[in-house]
Structure 1
Amino acid sequence: MLCATFSQIEIRGKKGRTVPVLLTSEIESNIDLLLQHREMAGIHPENLYLLPRSNFNSKEPIRSTDVLRKYGKEANLCKAENITSTKLRKHIATISQVLNLSRHDLETMAEFMGHDIDIHRSIYRLPQETIQVVKMGRLLSAFDNGTIVQYRGLDEITNYLRFKGGLLTLVL
């Protein structure tokens, strides 16, 4: 079902690595529209980039960092400087730690993001206290709002639970 929802293309990343990008059918349609109207938009015929500069017969691409910076400011974000592709990738990498991914899943994600797995582990590692707060917070919130049963069997919750004689007890 997800393969029917997304298609994948590869772009050049750092150090010549290819980095996959997932596209929805809507984005693909928008790309097709851009490609159909390149000449009308003043794109130099030799510019091979998907998102080219249209000024001065440029053969260069639009710089994504400039686009993020521009629209971050236009949106009046209080910390627009924090909206960067690097910080987004770091956010995804650090948040993924609380998902308790298997080694294989972590390697798959790091590869997909164009990270070396060792760099991924060393640079994006969250402090153990942060991971504990997230996991225990989720667990205690589930106890509090009566939804603990839905987490039964999930690694990030059951690591802190033990069943004794039919009773669920919290292991601190």
Structure 2
Amino acid sequence: MELQSFTSRDLTELNPDIVRGLTEFERKLAEHFERVEIQGKRSRKVPVLLTPDMIAAMDLLMKSRKIYQVHKENVYMFAWPDPFPITEAPTAFARHDICVHREFYRVPESILHLAKVSKQLIAIEKGRLPYLQGKGLDDIEVNPEGEI
């Protein structure tokens, strides 16, 4: 993720017309998460959902760049301090296959889908993902307290 992607994320209020079409819980999810678009393969936009804790951590990371001697020209959010030998880069952990593209890169851009995908994130966080097997995003019921 480039710093510019994070700093230029959309911080505008939710569109009232779209908000009217969401459930109360979906509205809360849309207000809770922030969305950043990063550049994927073939210059396609890839949406990334960030929680408030992630945003606070990333803000701290940006403020700490000078302290940890990250070069000023390094445009990446998760940059290594200089000098760092390229041979030690953890490339083995950065690989993925076509399944990742199908599952994550094809997420639609609308607020509606942001709210619905958030349901799965809540399920993962609560350890309830196995109970959702075979259900679609519309079939997942979550109460306002976040219980699935």
What TM-score, normalized by structure 1, do the two folds share? 0.39
**Quick check: which one's helix share is greater?**
1
**Quick check: which one's strand share is greater?**
1
Bigger relative contact order (CA 8 A; separation at least 6)? 2
